[in-house]
Amino acid sequence: MNTFLNYIYSHYTFNSRLLSVGRILISIILLFDLLFRFQNFEAHYTNAGVLPTSIIKEYYPFYQYYFSLHNIFDSYVQQKCLFFIHFLIVSFLLVGYKTRVFTILNFIFLLSLHHRNPLILQGGDDLLRLTIFYMIYLPWNRFYSLDAYLTNRKQNNYSSSNNEFSWMFVVFYFNIAFVYLFSAFLKTADEWRVSGEAIYYALSLETLRLGLGHWTYSHPLLMKFATFFVYYVQEIIAPIFLILSINSFIRNVSLFLIILLHLFIVTHLKVGIFPFVGITTAIMLLNLHQQNRIIITKFSKISFYFSLLIFILILRFNLATLNTNYFTITLLEDRILNSIGLSQRWNMFSPGVKRYDGHLVLRGIKSDNTEWDIIHNSSKIHYEKTTQNFNYLKGDRWRKFLENYEQTQYNFIKSYFCYYLIRQWNSKHPDNTIEALNILYMKKITLPGYQFKNELENLCLCNPAIDKLTISEN
């Protein structure tokens, strides 16, 4: 037992200077994330938008057990106040003032924000939320903070050459490894494991492709090599060696491979904040110096057993995402992990890459039954791809929303997005209003060998006046 504990103590240490760098980077990511979210504030977070709180309570009944200030204080003014307060507490975290208090507050507000609109969440949100949760228990204010300055921490024998140990850091460390390992486990399609076509299909999605992705997309052999390298090296070998943490060199090489993965993503694909959070967490796990000595706080049974409980819960939750008969969790465990913000599912491009993307076609219907294209402000309906309809809804949150909106399981939100678009159009064009709206989606389906086919999908047809009359009659 002592040998095992000595191995844990010596191989799963952290550097508080790097944690402090992580605090600054995480705070910057939070600020930009809030700023981008606020650009679509009315659409995504008010009852005049695409998901009123009444719909959350009706169609997400378990959400009534999940904490969310944004679902309680749901008026327009109250929502704006919550955003302003959130900006403020992130600013305090950035400068490192009363860091633990503001880490807790940031976690509460971020969890609340995520529970307000689950339709626009993605893996980067899970990773960001998890990181902040773990940092509640870790000293990421030791350097580059007002706390350190005000208490003269730099004179208390903490330096970048000293490694520290915490059981909660061990859980955080393993959880980061799980991100990539379980992402690989969930990628069961042959395009990842056999044919090597996954990157080709990913870069075929024009709504995602950017920067170097255009160049890589023109090189089939490079895409095949990248697919196998991402899957076998960066998502299987790297996290396994990270978990084993044989020595500092192996640990750092594994993290370097993970950082390279995120650099590849951020230069090739628009997938929101995930690569930025991923790079930051990898930096926080680095071991830059051979340990001269390890600072171990006094052993606490409460800390150990609490960390062990969290580890067991997240391991069971990740295993349950594999959808096998061998690994399941109880409904209670699922609700607990979701309610406290530790739920996670690393299923980006899993089990295979989505084979299509496309653009909206918005066919407005006026009172005289004539049609009007509300994207192009034209009497001609444009079904072909144009700059206007391709970029009509900007930002990764809208991309994620449309990805969910198109699915039949989310039929209950179809009309609310439709109503929102009608209100937006009529308020800006009082002399050219529409009474109804037909939301169409022109799919561009990817075929092998750079071939494509188009398919028009009818997503929704709504008329607010008739719909409300129908509802009242029922």
Sequence ranges of the domains in the chain: 2-339, 356-473
Beta strands in 376-472 (DSSP E): 436-447, 451-462
Tell me the pLDDT band of 7, cut-offs 50, 70 and 90: confident
Instruction: Please check whether residue 227 is in contact with residue 236, taking contact to mean a CB–CB distance below 8 angstroms.
Output: no
Tell me the pLDDT band of 360, cut-offs 50, 70 and 90: very high
154 or 128, higher pLDDT: 128
Q: What is the CA radius of gyration of the chain?
A: 24
User: pTM of the prediction?
Assistant: 0.93
At residue 297, does pLDDT exceed 90?
A: no
At residue 155, does pLDDT exceed 80?
A: no
Instruction: Tell me the pLDDT tens digit for each residue of 55-64.
Output: 888 887 676 6
Q: Which residue has the tokens 């944690």?
A: 19
Query: What H or E segment, with its residue span, contains residue 200?
Result: helix 198-203
Q: What confidence score (pLDDT) does residue 474 get? A: 34
At residue 321, does pLDDT exceed 60?
A: yes
**3-state DSSP assignment of residue 206:** coil
Beta bridge partners of 461: 438
223 or 473, higher pLDDT: 223
At residue 207, does pLDDT exceed 70?
A: yes
CA distance readout (Å), 107 to 147, 311, 349, 368? 19, 19, 27, 52
Residue type, 415: S
The strand order across the sheet containing 356-365 reads 371-373, 356-365, 436-447, 451-462
Residue type, 425: W
Give the least confident one: 65-69, 173-177, 395-399, 414-418.
65-69
Q: Which residue has the tokens 């349950």?
A: 320
* Most confidently predicted of 60-74, 282-296, 331-345: 331-345
In the chain, count of helices (H) and strands (E)?
A: 23, 6
Tell me the pLDDT band of 158, cut-offs 50, 70 and 90: low
Instruction: Determine the Cα–Cα distance for residues 131 and 109; give it in Å rounded to an integer.
Output: 14
Instruction: Determine the Cα–Cα distance for residues 63 and 161; give it in Å rounded to an integer.
Output: 46
